[in-house]
Amino acid sequence: MSLLERTESTSGARAPRRRATARGPVSKALALIAALLGVAVLTGCGGSSSGSVQTVDPKAFLTTASQPGTVVVDVRTPAEYAAGHIDGAVNIDVEASTFDAEVAKLDKNATYAVYCHSGRRSGLATDAMGKAGFTHVYNLSGGIADLASAGGQVVTS
């Protein structure tokens, strides 16, 4: 009779079972991965969590864009820009080979409000700008249609 069987038969109560734990190189690797992910989350690694980049809703974006000295940047393709863009925006295509060179020409201390079609490309652009040392960058949560719905003036000239 095992110890567990003797405990159950004498007390009528079931003894607590020990939880099985994984041991060996696989569990150590998983623990290391979990620890690294935890550190990455706690340190703000990735995304637009940098202090220099803020992701904002369309109303806040338009408020920021209307401030004197703010440069509005459309990071879509030239064809998309020509089809309709926010009045006063400059076009710097984030997917063009010239993106880094064009951004390097900008004043890193100026304020930038960056948008695209859906938010994916502006996220890429603002992450790159934050990593390049830009200090005041606003990324639109959403895209140009959201700006238009919030009252942004879309022009084609």
In a domain, 35, yes or no: yes
Same domain, 102 and 126: yes
In a domain, 48, yes or no: no
In a domain, 87, yes or no: yes
Same domain, 10 and 84: no
Same domain, 31 and 97: no
Q: In a structure prediction context, what are the per-residue pLDDT tens digits for the chain, which is 157 residues long?
A: 544 444 444 555 555 565 555 556 655 655 545 554 443 333 333 344 456 999 999 999 999 999 999 999 999 999 999 999 999 999 999 999 999 999 999 999 999 999 999 999 999 999 999 999 999 999 999 999 999 999 999 999 7
The CATH number that applies at residue 108 is 3.40.250.10
Options 116, 125, 140, 147, the catalytic residue:
116
Q: How many domains does the chain have?
A: 2
Q: Which of 149, 142, 156, 148 is nearest to 81 (CA)?
A: 156
| pTM of the full structure | 0.69
Catalytic residue status for 45: no
Question: Which residue segment(s) compose the domain that 13 sits in?
Answer: 3-42
Same domain, 70 and 117: yes
Same domain, 95 and 72: yes
Same domain, 82 and 148: yes
In a domain, 47, yes or no: no
Q: Which of 31, 126, 33, 24 is nearest to 71 (CA)?
A: 126
Same domain, 84 and 17: no
Q: What is the pLDDT of residue 131?
A: 96
Q: What is the pLDDT of residue 157?
A: 74
